[in-house]
Amino acid sequence: MSAKPKFAMYWAASCGGCEIAVLNIHEKILDVDAAFDVVFWPVAMDAKYKDVEAMQDGEITLCLFNGGMRNDENEHIARLLRRKSKIMVSFGSCACEGCIPGLANFSSITDMVDTAFSTITTDNPDNIRPQSSYAMPEGIITIPTLNPVLKTLDQVVEVDYYMPGCPPESHQIAAVVDLVIAALNGKAQLPPKGATIGAGNSTVCDECPRKRNVKAIKEFGRIQFIHADPELCLLEQGIPCNGPATRSGCNARCPSVGAQCIGCYGPAEGVVDYGARLISAFASVIDSNKPEEIDKILDGLVDPAGQFYRFNLAGSLLRSSKSAQKG
């Protein structure tokens, strides 16, 4: 048996983009392989669920866990891997804050299932809904039960570190791999428990190459209705860019190519409520003192709920709407 520390990576309710981002660290994967005994990583190797169950508690040194908690099975595996792992990293936006699938928490699970099974192409005269357990003529077959609301990983188990991003940038993943390997060799120290790793401590604006002239705006615009100036701050051109509230670490990837930041790196350091921070940032660029005019300017934001909680609803103070909690 190898004496190397053990590594695991798992995907719960996710899109697979986190795994692709890890594979995109290219030759660094070989460093992971050299430093760790990869014991469990469904995308990269054969995965032995029963072997994980058979492990000692805490036997896995490092577990990168991505994906949200959409159903009872996701939670079951989260608890199992938590028990078996010394260092559990909440990896990527879904695990950290719910990501785009967390927007489901604005409506009830019944509403979500009803919508999916009544679209214009759905042929469903008997109004069938998927059942967790269903008796077919040959026997009972089962599928997992959906949670009333999508939860983040740390709402189900304790996590040691948070690594934000949708997906985390590959250069940040490579840096974290280097740090953990150095720490295991006694050449570096791991950050305190609960820290955010693989990201910056400021905002996307601080990394953005666009020029800011502290110019105020009279209206919010939308990206499809302007030919944006390639040099100037998008927010100052009226585009509702989430850079001011969003954690740095991506090198301002989207604003650099003319697209507004949509907030995938989550709340900036020290921000308790992402939406509140963004609202105050937007308020600060509004060129008016008149309440009525301000209201009119704010009407230019056509989807405030989505704008302010696009990636982090499930992890926010709101977490979900009341109707969603009722199921």
Partner 1 sequence: MQRITIDPITRLEGHGKIEIFLNDEGNVANTYFQIPELRGFERFCVGRPVEEMPLLTNRICGVCPEAHHMAGAKAADAVYDVDPPRTAKLLRELLYMAFFCTDHTTHFYALGGPDFIMGPDAPVAERNILGVIHKVGLEIGGKVIQMRKYGHEVVEMIGGRKVHPCTSIPGGLTKGITEEQCAEIEKMGRWAVEFGQFSLQLFNDIVLGNKAYVDLILGDIYTHKTYYMGLMDENNKVNFYDGKVRVVGPDGKEYVKYEPKDYAANIAEHVEPWTYLKFPYLKNVGWKGFVDGPDSGVYMATPLSRLNAADGMATPLAQEEYDKFYKTLGGKPVHQRLAIHWARLIELLYAAERWVELATDPEITSPNFHTIPTEKPTEGVGIVEAPRGTLTHHYWTDERGVVTKVNLVVGTTNNYAPITMSIKKAAASLIKKGNVNQGLLNMVEMAFRAYDPCFGCATHSLPGQMPLEVTVRKANGEILDVLRQFVD
Alpha carbons within 13 A on the beta-carbon side of 295: 3
- 46 versus 292: smaller Cβ distance to partner 1: 46
The position carrying tokens 């069938």 is 128
Chain-centroid distance, C-alpha 230: 28
The smaller minimum CB distance to partner 1, of residues 22 and 217, is found at 22
Binding-site member from 38, 179, 184, 223 for partner 1 (CB under 8 A):
223
Mask of contacts with partner 1, 259-288, x by CB under 8 A?
Answer: x--x-x------------------------
Residue whose pair of structure tokens reads 């590959």 in the numeric block? 170
Of 172-201, binders to partner 1 (CB under 8 A) are none
Residues paired with residue 267 on neighbouring β-strands, in sequence order: 246
d(CA 48, CA 8) in angstroms, rounded, equals 11
Shortest distance, position 182 Cβ to partner 1, whole Å:
26
Does residue 230 bind partner 1 (CB under 8 A)?
yes
Of residues 85-104, those binding partner 1 (CB under 8 A): 99-101, 103-104
Does 298 interact with partner 1 (rule: CB under 8 A)?
Answer: no
Alpha carbon distances (Å) from 186 to 59, 179, 180, 181, 278:
19, 10, 10, 9, 40
Instruction: Kindly state the number of chain residues that form the binding site for partner 1, as judged by CB under 8 A.
Output: 81
Interface with partner 1 in residues 60-89 (CB under 8 A): 70-71, 73-74, 77
Q: According to the binding rule CB under 8 A, does residue 317 interact with partner 1?
A: no
**Min separation Cβ 313 and partner 1, Å:** 9
Neighbours of 184 (CB within 10 A): 16
Q: Are 7 and 36 in contact (CB under 8 A)?
A: yes
| CA separation for the pair 185, 169 (Å, rounded) | 25
Residue numbers 237-256 binding partner 1 by CB under 8 A: 253-254, 256
